[in-house]
Amino acid sequence: METFQREMNHNRDELRRTRWTQHRKQVTGLFDAVFSKKAIVEKVAIVGAGNCDDLDIEYLASKCSSLYLFDIDRGSMEKARNNLPDYTRKKIQLVEIDVTGLDKVMFEDHLTSMLKRGDRAEDIVQYVKEIENRLTQVSDSIFASYYNGFDIVATSAIYTQLFYNWAIDLLTHFENQYQENDAAEIKDGFLDLRDQIVRTLNHSISKCIKEDGFYITWSDMLKIEPEYMETINEGLNAIFALASNVGYGAALIGIKDYLGKVDKSELSLRYWPWDFNANKQYLTIGIIGRLKEGYK
């Protein structure tokens, strides 16, 4: 999975940072809303930082004592940090981490071996289910040292990047070994695991936030098509209805789970178009919330 994600991070055109200027401003606005409510911010964490193309790292570092960047691809984070002034670099801590926790149970090796052998679909699904049941324990072991450590924790468009795309790509190399219904059964097992990964990650991240701290998330919800514009212009309720039909399931699950962890009285939601590349534009939702009192 690390190799897959690294290739995704490196597969970008030279104009991306410029193209993402408006998206980056929207993301900065989420942080600004929190900074206006919280006078002193010591530690900030961004999970899924990657290339940092959607982040104004220099500005964010200027607003806190230390900035932690979490991602499976350390090389991309290092490249982003190395382009910053020395006084900013000193504030930044890089944490190389597979937030799914699947590396801790050698999931990639086991699943690949099962597919290479052509193991029965029901055996593969059973194995995937066993891993799903272990996620909470594994996630606790990954994040425990960061619990109650941050004034602000943010996730950077991570829900749609977790596990599933890699798993489907892996399956395509062995799909000819399986009947159509068996391949569909395996994919359903992957979806269940993906959904649990999203929920488990949210739970672990929330435990990393200090009492009275803030939780920020932004995620691509759906690819914008011309026929969606009329609905999108009707506002959030219409957007969520549209996304429930044509949007990304991982994003919807992540957002719904997130909403259960924050104080509704201080919740703020925004949405905007993200010009991802010359051929793709995503509708993105950003949410700001203060961690619910007594939650964890």
Q: Show pLDDT as tens, one digit a residue, over the chain (296 residues).
A: 556 454 454 555 667 888 999 999 999 999 999 999 987 899 999 999 999 999 999 999 999 999 999 999 999 999 999 989 999 999 999 999 999 999 999 999 999 999 999 999 999 999 999 999 999 999 988 999 999 999 999 999 999 999 899 999 999 999 889 999 999 999 999 999 999 999 999 999 999 999 889 999 999 999 999 999 999 999 999 999 999 999 999 999 999 999 999 998 889 999 999 999 888 999 999 999 998 876 65
Note whether 101 and 139 are within 8 A (CB): yes
**Residue 141 domain-assigned (yes or no):** no
**Residue 160 domain-assigned (yes or no):** yes
Taking Cα atoms as reference points, which of 167, 172, 221 lies closest to residue 189?
167
Sign of the CA dihedral running 21, 27, 31, 36: positive
Strand duo 268-275 + 209-223: pairing = unpaired
The CATH number that applies at residue 62 is 3.40.50.150
**Residue 274 domain-assigned (yes or no):** yes
Strand partners, 273: 283
Is 0.85 topped by the overall pTM?
A: yes
Phi-psi region of 19 (alpha: psi -120 to 50; beta: other; left: phi over 0): alpha
Q: Please give the residue range of the domain that contains residue 220.
A: 2-100+146-177+198-290
Taking Cα atoms as reference points, which of 275, 269, 250 lies closest to residue 195?
250
Note whether 14 and 39 are within 8 A (CB): no
Return the biggest CA–CA distance within the chain. Answer: 59
**Residue 120 domain-assigned (yes or no):** no
What tokens were used for 129?
């289910």
The total number of structural domains that make up the chain: 1
**Residue 109 domain-assigned (yes or no):** no
**Residue 152 domain-assigned (yes or no):** yes
